[in-house]
Amino acid sequence: MYTIREGKKEDLPKVLELVRELAVYEKAPDEVINTVEMMEKDGFGLHPVFGFFVAVKTETQEIIGTSIYYYRYSTWKGKRLYLEDLIVTETERGNGAGKLLFDRTLAKTLEEGCSGMSWQVLDWNTPAINFYQKYGADLDGEWVNCNLQENQIKELLQMQ
């Protein structure tokens, strides 16, 4: 029903469409500032900073899902794979594409010699939490996410 493969540059418009769909689902549609051009540079430029897999519906060859990842370094654990987003378009959820994407990303973790994989899930996203719990994932509610946006950083650094 689905094929999982490495993402290609020509997949980026559909992948960004999936990212925007996720942003709507997560009640943050205005937060996406990424563009296909940025993703091209960041994923296929001189120094790629992310990779991705796509789920392709076999009968239509349509991309219906993606797993976007990058590497991070933990001073406690060493090299880790970070799953930024696991997205399956709404009409295809519950049909196994998410499991295939997740499993392929887990395999990539081992292929790259990582000590494990990390990701985040919103505390209200019960379907995703249930999905990850089936894998026996540790859901750590102790850590607080911290972020500064580019405009905030510029403002802060100009103040010094």
- How far apart CA 139 and CA 119 sit, in angstroms, is 10
Exactly one of 25, 71, 82, 132 is catalytic; name it: 132
> What is the sign of the dihedral through the CA atoms of 35, 40, 46 and 47?
positive
Three-state SS at 105: helix
Q: What is the bridge-based pairing of β-strands 63-74 and 2-6?
A: unpaired
Vertex 133, ends 115 and 148: CA angle to 5°? 65
Q: What is the bridge-based pairing of β-strands 2-6 and 51-57?
A: antiparallel
**Among this protein's residues, is 132 annotated catalytic?**
yes
Q: What are the residue numbers of the active site?
A: 132
